Structure 1
Amino acid sequence: MSRRHLAMLTATVLAAASLTACGSGDEPGDGGKTLTYWASNQGASLEADKEILQPELDKFEQQTGIKVNVEVVPWSDLLNRLLAAATTGQGPDVVNIGNTWSASLQATGALVEFDDATLDKVGGKDRFVPAALAAAGAPDKPPAAVPLYSLAYALYYNKQSFADAGITAPPTTWEEMAEAGRKLTGDGKWGLAVEGANPSENAHHAFTFAQQYGGEWFDAAGKPTFDTPQNVAAVKRYVDLMAVDKIVNPSNAEYAQNQSVSDFANGKAAMLLWQAAGANLKSQNMAADAYGVAPVPFLANPPAGGKQVNSMVAGINIAVFKHTKNLDGALEFVKFMTSDTEQVTLNKTYGSLPAVGTVAADPAFAADEQKVLAQTLATTAAPLPQVPEESTFETLVGTAIKELFADAASGRPVTEDSVREKLTRAQQQMR
């Protein structure tokens, strides 16, 4: 990633305030026995994540004598804070990163690379699921992180709402979804919930739709190709769920994080596209037998070049900053978090899939939700481009789609021309 791209993404954070979270060794007299860990928000709230993680961190301290101070960082802040920490050399020892950001953060040079010798310190390369490890850094380079939680998108649907509308099976195509959504919309309820103001979520769906239309966001040389006809058609198809099909509440244009899950859990929307939503739904008192889980739909008639892809290879990686004053302790913590016991405990709690092959067959991951996610990852998921500019792509394209959802919510037409204009502007900003 160029210094210009880094500056664009971190200027706001650096101008607002200096970082106050410091790495290990900053507490006088601790003997390097304290680590700072930034965890990404996986549960229903930051507080819920802290409650889930703290007993495991206490267990690590009992085993090693190393105390871990955790801060759960919301997704809306995480990328900018990580880039700021990479730029300044100040920040935590260990971090969670979205696996799609791996190459971007690797290009800063701020993360410890997991070469074979380093991988051996955390249990060895062969422990990790190959597809998950492949999304941990740029091709032909040692990974900049190791996988922690494996995820994929799925379609969640309210069984009672479907039965009341006479819908006997979940939709398998976008056309069927639009038809079902219209039957499910009315009396203050909506067919589908989305998060139109969530740039990362928007970019993930843009990637998947574009794959189905035969589009790519970067060419083989890593040059952005945002405004191709295929990508324009893909983004329009997604935004049209609100603009044309009218199965999405216009207020969803302002939804930023977890609000769509809340609408689904509370019966305000009958369908949801999400990554491992089960634990989040449970925390909001939605019974597991109240909803079904199915693969994300495909296009009924894909154009030439269209791919059978219905999810990105999603997941959370765990990484170590080079500025840590306790590298051995940080790697020991990574080894602990990716151990068989912790992989079962944490992934079972979050409803995600283990990133190590040794526990993939554990009964904890035999529920219908995990079966759908595992099948998707194995057969119809594709990784986002592992290029240094990937995180910038998510920010710019995701924001362009946010603006298009705002247009749709306010009644302004969303046309091919208006979509192309937004994507062209995003592409120009990349350059």
Structure 2
Amino acid sequence: MRILRAAIVTATATALAAVTSGCGGGTSPGGAGDDSPTTLTYWASNQGPNVEADKKILGPELKKFERQTGIKVKLEVIPWPDLLNRILTATTSGQGPDVLNIGNTWSASLQATGALLPWNKENLAAIGGRGRFLAPALDATGVAGKDPAAIPLYSLAYALYYNKQMFKDAGISKPPATWDELVADGKRIAKNGKWGLGAEGGQLTNNIHQAFALGKQHGADFFDRSGRPAFTSDGAVAAVKQYIDFMAKDRIIAPGNAEYGQNQSLRDFATGRTAMVLWQAAATTFAADGMKPDEWGVAPVPVPSGTPGTGRQTNSMLAGINIAVFKNTHNLHGARKFVKFMTSDGEQRLLNKTYGSIPPVTAAQQDPAFNRQDTKVLRETLARSATPLPQIAEESQFETSVGTAIKDLFADAAAGHPVTTASVKARLAKAEQQMTK
């Protein structure tokens, strides 16, 4: 039988108690209400090149909201490596924000805690209704058949970014469409201190995103039809080994990438140390590191056939950021107003344009900015070849257990230890044991 790890079990058990103990902007008991009608606390995820950049981007928009509504928003931008733990702590302690951003893959896990406001018909009507949002984005807002636990804010998919000059210098005329081509191109480039592909082996969520898409290509979902972990299936093992082999066998990823965290591989790419990187939306980070738009190109993530699509041709998890409200906020009216503001057509165009992501609000996609080379690839991937991660309560545990297994395998590769099918399966078996009893 599946179980949650201790932290999530605790969150589930205590979050319901937390809704009467003061989570959100106010301090009075009794759950959601409007005891603090002129203030909101907002936890934003780090979408730009760094936390300070996000503050500069969001600051004027929060002032705009304050002018429109009289509600002041206290902003905290939280880096991705810290965000999930901060949220889980808030659900158990009752000390958290009114409104927060979450990775869309966490929707079902956080929904299971009972700490997030369900977006029922009344709450959805307050922000303009369900019909404003793209259906695939809504698929990643919680368990199917239940009211959404959050609302889509920024939609993302993975793409392959490549350095045009490094490709030209290596005599490569076009970006790779298959993994064999990517490895061959990477080997032509990986010499004299340059590397073919970047990775962030120390970042658990990115590890999962890459393994999940490769898993689909190997016919694996990491969970069976009954929802039980299947981390040691032949397809799951092959997918993880393929990813680690880019460092261990093919030697197109630098060993130092085994320890990389958020955005470090993007800096290597922007400064000409690495020729390719698999990422969601990276234009603002490249620019912050001095790379000009005409110096990089973008293409769909490779698939075995060379043509992305569904099933074994999936080339990205359906990525994105959702915005949620803590169930016991003491400014429910203001929190809904803020979500409506952040998902308005104008803010969706502005913020997604700035971050290089795709608006999950249909009307906002009409802006020409979302038909540029890079955003067009992301938009088409979302529509044709991206698949949501499993919307199950244990998803955040999946990210932690399998993400850590991949991190440890990268460490083995970086240290020169053999990475075999057996060693990969052993790491994944340990991760599976952490999920089951």
Using the size of structure 1 for normalisation, the TM-score is 0.94
1:185 lines up with 2:186 in the alignment: no
Q: Trace 1:264-279 onto structure 2 (pairs within 5 A).
A: 264-279=269-284
The answer as to whether partners of 2:208 and 2:399 remain within 8 angstroms in 1 is yes
Q: For 1:250, which of 236, 240, 255 is the aligned residue? A: 255
How many residues are aligned here? Answer: 419
Give the match for residue 93 of structure 1: 98
Pairwise CA distance, 1:355:
1.1
Letter matched to residue 116 of structure 2: L
The answer as to whether partners of 2:116 and 2:326 remain within 8 angstroms in 1 is yes
Give the match for residue 87 of structure 2: 82
Pairwise CA distance, 1:216:
1.3
Question: Structure 1 stretches (4+) deviating beyond 3 angstroms?
Answer: 1-4, 8-11
The answer as to whether partners of 1:215 and 1:306 remain within 8 angstroms in 2 is no
Q: Trace 1:113-132 onto structure 2 (pairs within 5 A).
A: 113-132=118-137
Q: How many angstroms apart in 1 are the aligned matches of 2:3 and 2:235?
A: 31
Give the match for residue 17 of structure 1: none
1:234 lines up with 2:242 in the alignment: no
1:390 lines up with 2:391 in the alignment: no
Give the match for residue 330 of structure 2: 325
Letter matched to residue 257 of structure 1: Q
Letter matched to residue 24 of structure 1: G
Letter matched to residue 149 of structure 2: A
Q: How many angstroms apart in 1 are the aligned matches of 2:314 and 2:2?
A: 31
Q: Trace 1:262-301 onto structure 2 (pairs within 5 A).
A: 262-300=267-305
Give the match for residue 47 of structure 1: 52
Q: For 2:370, which of 365, 368, 375 is the aligned residue? A: 365
Pairwise CA distance, 1:239:
0.5
Q: How many angstroms apart in 2 are the aligned matches of 1:375 and 1:264?
A: 24
Q: How many angstroms apart in 1 are the aligned matches of 2:279 and 2:426?
A: 28
- SS of residue in 2 equivalent to 1:35: strand
Give the match for residue 32 of structure 2: none
1:67 lines up with 2:68 in the alignment: no
Q: For 2:170, which of 165, 172, 175 is the aligned residue? A: 165
Pairwise CA distance, 1:150:
0.4
Letter matched to residue 200 of structure 1: T
| Shift in alpha-carbon separation, 1:116–1:257, aligned structure 2, 3 A | same
Alpha-carbon displacement from aligned partner over 1:168-203 (angstroms, at most 9, x marks no partner): 010011111000001111111100110001000000
Give the match for residue 26 of structure 2: 25
Q: For 1:414, which of 411, 415, 419 is the aligned residue? A: 419
Give the match for residue 226 of structure 2: 221
Q: Trace 1:189-208 onto structure 2 (pairs within 5 A).
A: 189-208=194-213
Give the match for residue 31 of structure 2: none
| Shift in alpha-carbon separation, 1:298–1:9, aligned structure 2, 3 A | farther
Letter matched to residue 171 of structure 1: P
- SS of residue in 1 equivalent to 2:366: coil
Letter matched to residue 7 of structure 1: A
Give the match for residue 174 of structure 1: 179
- SS of residue in 2 equivalent to 1:353: coil
| Shift in alpha-carbon separation, 1:31–1:112, aligned structure 2, 3 A | closer
**Structure 1 stretches of 5 or more lacking a match?**
15-20
| Shift in alpha-carbon separation, 1:81–1:164, aligned structure 2, 3 A | same
- SS of residue in 1 equivalent to 2:63: helix
**Structure 2 stretches of 5 or more lacking a match?**
15-21, 29-34
Q: How many angstroms apart in 2 are the aligned matches of 1:370 and 1:241?
A: 27
| Shift in alpha-carbon separation, 1:401–1:3, aligned structure 2, 3 A | closer
1:308 lines up with 2:323 in the alignment: no
Q: For 1:209, which of 183, 193, 214 is the aligned residue? A: 214
Q: For 1:259, which of 249, 253, 264 is the aligned residue? A: 264
| Shift in alpha-carbon separation, 1:189–1:403, aligned structure 2, 3 A | same
Pairwise CA distance, 1:275:
0.3
Pairwise CA distance, 1:32:
3.0
Give the match for residue 110 of structure 2: 105
Alpha-carbon displacement from aligned partner over 1:228-247 (angstroms, at most 9, x marks no partner): 01100000000000000000
- SS of residue in 1 equivalent to 2:113: coil
1:347 lines up with 2:348 in the alignment: no
Give the match for residue 19 of structure 2: none
- SS of residue in 1 equivalent to 2:44: strand
Pairwise CA distance, 1:25:
2.8
Q: How many angstroms apart in 1 are the aligned matches of 2:120 and 2:8?
A: 30
| Shift in alpha-carbon separation, 1:252–1:123, aligned structure 2, 3 A | same
- SS of residue in 2 equivalent to 1:90: coil
- SS of residue in 2 equivalent to 1:155: strand
Pairwise CA distance, 1:326:
0.6
| Shift in alpha-carbon separation, 1:294–1:22, aligned structure 2, 3 A | same
The answer as to whether partners of 2:4 and 2:397 remain within 8 angstroms in 1 is no
- SS of residue in 2 equivalent to 1:276: coil
1:426 lines up with 2:431 in the alignment: yes
- SS of residue in 2 equivalent to 1:248: coil
Q: How many angstroms apart in 1 are the aligned matches of 2:197 and 2:285?
A: 17
Q: How many angstroms apart in 2 are the aligned matches of 1:7 and 1:26?
A: 25
Pairwise CA distance, 1:306:
6.0
Alpha-carbon displacement from aligned partner over 1:345-387 (angstroms, at most 9, x marks no partner): 1000000000100111211212100000011111111111101
The answer as to whether partners of 2:216 and 2:314 remain within 8 angstroms in 1 is yes
Pairwise CA distance, 1:323:
1.9
Letter matched to residue 381 of structure 2: T
The answer as to whether partners of 1:9 and 1:80 remain within 8 angstroms in 2 is no
Letter matched to residue 99 of structure 1: N
| Shift in alpha-carbon separation, 1:142–1:325, aligned structure 2, 3 A | same
Using the size of structure 2 for normalisation, the TM-score is 0.93
Pairwise CA distance, 1:298:
0.8
Letter matched to residue 179 of structure 2: W
The answer as to whether partners of 2:36 and 2:331 remain within 8 angstroms in 1 is no
- SS of residue in 2 equivalent to 1:332: helix
Pairwise CA distance, 1:269:
0.1
Percent of paired sites with the same residue: 59
Q: How many angstroms apart in 1 are the aligned matches of 2:194 and 2:398?
A: 33
- SS of residue in 2 equivalent to 1:82: helix
